[in-house]
Structures are given as structure tokens and as C-alpha cells.
Homo-oligomer: A and B are copies of this chain.
Amino acid sequence: MTGWLRIAGLGPGAEGMVTPEVTAALADATDVVGYIPYVARIAPRAGLTLHPSDNRVEAERARHALDMAAAGRRVVVVSSGDPGVFAMASAVFEVAETEPAFHTLDIAVLPGITAMLAAAAAAGAPLGHDFCAINLSDNLKPWSLIERRLRAGVEGDFAMAFYNPRSKARPEGFARVLDLLRDLCGSDRLITFARAVSTPDQSLRTVTLAEATPQMADMRTVVLLGNRATRRAGRWVYTPRGVS
């Protein structure tokens, strides 16, 4: 049996947003590896072994998946959203780089609907012009770099999407982000809090920066900040395509 590894995105939650190529890879797999809540989305079946693992063990999870594929298993590493956006694809390549034996493995990344684009779709089109995606977690980078990127994003008048805005381990970071953005963008700028998009728990709220509070975000929220031109149209929020 020839092993392979697929690094697949399950999208934000709705089954209707899982691509057919991801569904096909899962149907063909012998093993599924991933963070507990993502593996929980995969239906058990005969011949498929599920390997759920805890958060913050990305490198160990990647090595386990690579080892199994090298041993001839058909392995899918699952991420929520898109595997290339703040998810498992980079972790797998970081580990694969360390061992030449892994360089010849049959590896493919299968893209998915990432949270910011599902959130933007639910809100209207707030990322309809040039935009940035920033992970606000400071687990893997210093706060100074997050602040530098926020400043650069504002300097470029980008719309911005923020992943991992707030967690129990970092309750105060997002308050600092909102304070900085109010300083840089003014209080009228629109900001959208999109929680659990495409699931039964979905909630969407668009306010101005003056009205925004840290408590509007939690671990299941992606936050979208408009650029200078972002506006409301009825119940929608959108960023115009043109800039004069």
C-alpha cells in the first residue's frame, strides 16, 4: 500500500462548505489526525482510525501524521477553515523539512473556506478591497510584531481580518488592540464580530470602534475591521471596489 498525506480544510462548520475533494479524501483515508473538535466532525466508519489530539501540539501531530503516511497509511490532517491560514499546513512542512525521507512523500494541501471569508460573506463584503489577515495570538510571536502589523495595516488603509482575537490565556491583549485601532483609525470605523459562522450558533454584530468592547469577541470569533471606505448598505456591510 502506498501511503499519502492530505492536509485538508473542513471549512468554518457547515457541511455545505466542505469541498468535494476534501470529502473524497476523507472517504479514502485510513487515518484522520487533528485537534479534538475538528476530528469530532468526522463520522466514524469501519477502516478509519481517528486520532484526536489536544491544542498546541501541532508539531507532534504533524510528525505522527508524516510517520503514518511514510509507513503506508492514507492520512488526512484536518483543520478548521483553510489549512494554510493559521492552521496545520505550515506545521506539517516545518516537520517534513527536518527529514529527507519525508521529502518524497505524496503530500497535498486541500484548501477550505477560511473563517474570514465565510464571515465576510455572512456580513456582506467587508473584505471587498485589499485586506490583511492577522493572527492576534501571541503564542508564537511577540506582541511588538502584532502591534507593528496593526500599524502597517492601518498605514496601508487595508481592511483587516483578525483571527484568535481573544482567549482565556490572553484576556487583555484584545483590549489593547481595540485601543490602538481607535487611536489610529478614529472612533467611526466599522468593525464586525462574527462568531461561529455557518453553524447553528452563528452570530454577527457590526458596530463602530467607539462601541466595540473586548467582550464582543471570544475564541470562536473572527473580527473584521473595515477600511476608511467601508460602509453599511441596509443590513449589509461592504467595502467598495474603487478608490478615487
Residues of A212-244 at the interface with B, using a CB-CB cut-off of 8 Å, are 231, 233-236, 238-243
Residues of A118-169 at the interface with B, using a CB-CB cut-off of 8 Å, are 118, 120-122, 124-135, 140-142, 145, 148-149, 151-153, 155-158
Within 8 Å CB of A151, what residues of B?
156
Within 8 Å CB of A185, what residues of B?
none
Does A204 make an interface contact (CB < 8 A)? no
Query: What size tier do the contact residues of chain A reach?
Result: 35 or more
Within 8 Å CB of A122, what residues of B?
109
Closest 6 pairs between A and B when the two form their complex, measured CB to CB: A152-B156, A90-B128, A103-B234, A16-B21, A97-B233, A89-B125
Within 8 Å CB of A131, what residues of B?
132-133
Does A177 make an interface contact (CB < 8 A)? no
Which of A17, A114, A122, A233 has the largest number of chain B CB atoms within 10 A? A233
